[in-house]
Amino acid sequence: MGRLKNRRALVTGASSGIGAAAAHLLAREGADVALLARNEKGLREVARRVEGEGRRSVRVRADITDREALERAVDRAAASLGAAERDDDHAAGGGLDVVIVAAAAGAFGRFEEIPPDDFDRCVAVSFGGAVNTIRAVLPHLERSHGRLVVIGSAVDTIPLSLLSPYVAAKAALDALLHSLGAELRAADSNVSVSVVRPGAVDSPFWRHLTHPAGLKPPEIPPLTAYSPESVAAAAVDLAVAPRPSITVGGTTIALQVASLVARPLVERAFALVSRLGRSTAQPEPSPRALWEPSGDGTVHGGLGGRPSALAAAQRLLSRR
């Protein structure tokens, strides 16, 4: 039945990318999964994969920036999953044992050309939406001694350009999780808080980026993009055996170290990448994923993302 036999999980951003991959892996590990996103089409497709693993799925639609609607959706999900059969001594009344926060959105362009409304919306989704989700699920996780896993990003330490609202949101989220973890320890809480920090991921995120002039950002070289399944696998491992964080990808770690020891050099390199990326962006109708549902169940972004050998090795070591 897997390492999460009969656990009750909820995944945000479940209609595409990392969230969709995580929902499928949770089901393979034996969990029943509540899928939360805006797009009903994507939720139906991911629910089909969950049920194909012999597990129960619950679909709940909500915009994570709408706090009241999100809280109602989380409560519906917890009630629908119910008090599943358990094989441990933890309380069974919480309705949720695992929550993976994966929803995010991005705006592409130089800081001064991104419309303020798009900038604010990106932060509201990628940071504010995560805050709303954590606030809504914590009571359920407290009752079940549950596990909270948040998909962060390595951009909180790497000077990535042309994605300033997304970078700001992920940096704020990382700081929040440090503070929240300390508060929960001080309160002797049994809820674990973990964060996954991936680098570039081959997900639909890139083609959903909004640009004010309708430009499509250039594709990321395949050698620098990791598969959504690698990130999802790290998240599921943290749900099974919690620890504070895991960074996905040797390239990602190398960039983080370089940013610490040679920041000016890394900033110059990214400045060059920024100029190249901005000059090679192609005209294309700008998606409205910041403002409209976009997930259709697709996991990959078509960039040829590769598995992370380092993350796989870390998972093997952690299971010993």
The whole-angstrom separation of Cα 14 and Cα 47 is 9
- Helices 17-28, 40-52: crossing angle, 10 deg rounding: 20
Phi/psi at 305 (5° precision): -60, 145
Provide the token pair at 234: 């790290």
pLDDT tens-place string over residues 47-62: 999 999 999 999 999 9
Residues 31, 134: Cα–Cα separation, whole Å: 20
4-29 mean pLDDT: 97
Reported as half-sphere exposure (CB side, CA atoms, 13 A), residue 128 has a value of 13
Residue 263, pLDDT > 90, answer: no
In sequence order, the β-bridge partners of residue 10 are 34, 99
Query: What is the Cα–Cα distance from 37 to 13, expressed in whole angstroms?
Result: 5
- Rg of the chain over all Cα atoms, to the nearest angstrom: 19
Place of tokens 């797009």: 39
Mean pLDDT score of the chain = 85
C-alpha 309/C-alpha 315 separation (Å) is 10
Q: What percent of the chain has pLDDT over 70?
A: 75
CA-to-CA separations, 320 to 28, 85, 88, 313, 314, in angstroms, rounded: 20, 27, 21, 11, 10
Pairing of strands 282-283, 215-216: antiparallel
pLDDT at 74: 97
Q: Per CATH, is 8-318 categorized as 3.40.50.2300?
A: no
Confidence band of 20 (pLDDT split at 50, 70, 90): very high
Full-model pTM: 0.87
Note the pLDDT tens digit of each residue in 95-108. Answer: 899 999 999 998 88
What confidence tier does 309 reach under pLDDT thresholds 50, 70, 90? low
Q: How far apart are CA 314 and CA 118, in angstroms?
A: 37
